[in-house]
Amino acid sequence: MPKQTSYTAKHPDADGQIRYTASENAVWRDLVAQQQPNVDRYAAKPFRDGQRRLDLPQDRVPQCTEVSERLLDLTGWTVAPVPALIGFSKFFGMLAERTFPAASFIRSREDFDYIEEPDIFHEIYGHTPLLTDPRFARFSQKIGETGLTCDKADYAWLIRLYWFTIEFGLIKEGPEIKALGSGLASSPGELRHSVEEVAVERKPFDVIDILRTPYRIDINQPIYFVLDNVDQLLEAAKRDLRADIKRAQALGLFAPTYPEKKIA
């Protein structure tokens, strides 16, 4: 998670509605227009099924209230606007209560193709389709429940499991590998990279391996983990993840396969 942002949160009015400007709605419209053909080609069926269930507006930024109405019926989740960046304990607490925290601002035109921090396009377009799947929804809640009972020193370990599944997970689909994670679905460049790039590692989904794998948030991932099916996430949600973290800590982190970030 980035430490700072130049964006400020947009706050809902008394009706829970956020007033987006015409130019902000146009950014959403153009992001969807650019990304949907990529999603149709590279994203996995559970993601595309979720899109169909939600039927998000294409020409304006959706309101958290309208997305919540649909999600509540399907899996009992809601989406709540939050400031651009929130702390881990609040983040885990909201997931445990089946509330997805959504940064409410939308990126500027200058950041159209890449933005490090999550914006409403990433949160709604990227995340909410998967939250229509009860298996994915349960796994997300389990991450939150585990986070609430972890030591703070364990947060960075737990968040790797979130990162390599919910954000950047891949999944087998017949003979193909498709993109499942929300960070991929909302990223024009990395969606294709994750599926087609030859020079990346695609490892089988394994909770302990994932917990031991470091990552950088500001580059295309050099390693992805591939699910056989979404049921594996439901199985993972039954595990004692705190015990898994202790085991991973005892085994130690894998050496990074990416270059260290240069501080200018």
Nearer to Fe ion, 23 or 144 (CB): 144
Nearer to Fe ion, 28 or 264 (CB): 28
Nearer to Fe ion, 188 or 246 (CB): 188
From residue 116 to residue 145, the character string flagging contacts with Fe ion as x (rule: CB under 5 A) and all else as - is --x---------------------------
CB of 243 to Fe ion, least distance (A): 26
The pair of three-digit structure tokens given for residue 124, joined into one six-digit string: 């709604």
Residues 6+ apart with CB under 8 A from 182: 122, 126, 127, 130, 166, 167
CB of 184 to Fe ion, least distance (A): 10
- Which residue, among 216, 222, 231, has the nearest Cα to 203 in the 3D structure? 222
Phi, psi of 103 (to 5 degrees): -60, 130
CA distance 43 to 230: 14
Binding to Fe ion in span 91-120, by CB under 5 A? 118
CA distance 221 to 153: 24
CB of 198 to Fe ion, least distance (A): 26
CB of 127 to Fe ion, least distance (A): 6
# of chain residues touching Fe ion (CB under 5 A): 1
Task: Sheet containing 223-227: give its strands across.
Answer: 176-179, 170-173, 223-227, 201-204
Nearer to Fe ion, 86 or 208 (CB): 86
Nearer to Fe ion, 130 or 245 (CB): 130
End-to-end CA distance of the chain: 19
CB of 2 to Fe ion, least distance (A): 12
Nearer to Fe ion, 1 or 251 (CB): 1
Which single residue brings its beta carbon nearest to Fe ion?
118
CA distance 19 to 120: 13
CB of 167 to Fe ion, least distance (A): 5
Binding to Fe ion in span 175-214, by CB under 5 A? none
**Surface-to-core class of residue 241, CB atoms within 10 Å of its CB (0-12 exposed, 13-18 middle, 19+ buried):** buried
CB of 234 to Fe ion, least distance (A): 20
Nearer to Fe ion, 50 or 118 (CB): 118
**Surface-to-core class of residue 97, CB atoms within 10 Å of its CB (0-12 exposed, 13-18 middle, 19+ buried):** middle
Binding residues vs Fe ion (CB under 5 A): 118
